[in-house]
């Protein structure tokens, strides 16, 4: 079982560049999430989606965009990368809403440095 797959695993960007972090899941989960994890801090939600075509902002959405054209894929786009976006990005999915009885499944993360 592949679960949640994130690509790339590592990336270095220059300030002002753009990139898309890819996330795909093969569990047919409706709910998908993007979190960022900064050193010594808890994970914070950037965006989430409750199904294809439906996305919404989380706690820290500024500087990011998402789309959800299929159930499987939930890419995260960084426009005009800034040093403050240096972080580890995690994608997660779940079959039910967060307040339900099913845990979220996480990918291995993308480690992004903006220089």
Partner 1 sequence: KQEVTQIPAALSVPEGENLVLNCSFTDSAIYNLQWFRQDPGKGLTSLLLIQSSQREQTSGRLNASLDKSSGRSTLYIAASQPGDSATYLCAVPDQAGTALIFGKGTTLSVSS
* Residues 49-68 as x/- pattern, contact with partner 1 by CB under 8 A: -------x-xx---------
CA 22/CA 37 separation, integer angstroms? 17
The answer to whether residue 87 forms part of the interface with partner 1 (CB under 8 A) is no
CA 12/CA 10 separation, integer angstroms? 7
Among 78, 107, 112, 114, binds partner 1 (CB under 8 A): 107
* Biggest CA pair distance of the chain: 41
Among 108, 112, 113, 114, binds partner 1 (CB under 8 A): 108
Residues 3-42, interacting with partner 1 (CB under 8 A): 4, 33, 40-42
* Residues linked to residue 48 through DSSP beta bridges, in sequence order: 33, 56
Among 43, 63, 82, 86, binds partner 1 (CB under 8 A): 43
The answer to whether residue 89 forms part of the interface with partner 1 (CB under 8 A) is no
Q: Kindly tell me which of 15 and 50 has the beta carbon lying closer to partner 1.
A: 50
**Which are the contacts of 110, defined by CB distance < 8 A and separation ≥ 6?**
6, 7, 8, 9, 10, 11, 21, 88, 89
């Amino acid at each position: 079982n592949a679960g949640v797959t994130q690509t790339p695993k590592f990336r270095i960007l220059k300030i002002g560049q753009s990139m898309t972090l890819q996330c795909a899941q093969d569990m047919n989960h409706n709910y998908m999430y993007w979190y960022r994890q900064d050193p010594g801090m808890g994970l914070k939600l950037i965006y989430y989606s409750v199904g294809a075509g439906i996305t919404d902002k989380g706690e820290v959405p500024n500087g990011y965009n998402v789309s959800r054209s299929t159930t499987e894929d939930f890419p995260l786009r960084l426009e005009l990368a800034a040093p403050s976006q240096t972080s580890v990005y995690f994608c997660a999915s779940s079959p039910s809403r967060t307040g339900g009885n099913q845990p979220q499944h996480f990918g291995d993360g993308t480690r992004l440095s903006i220089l």
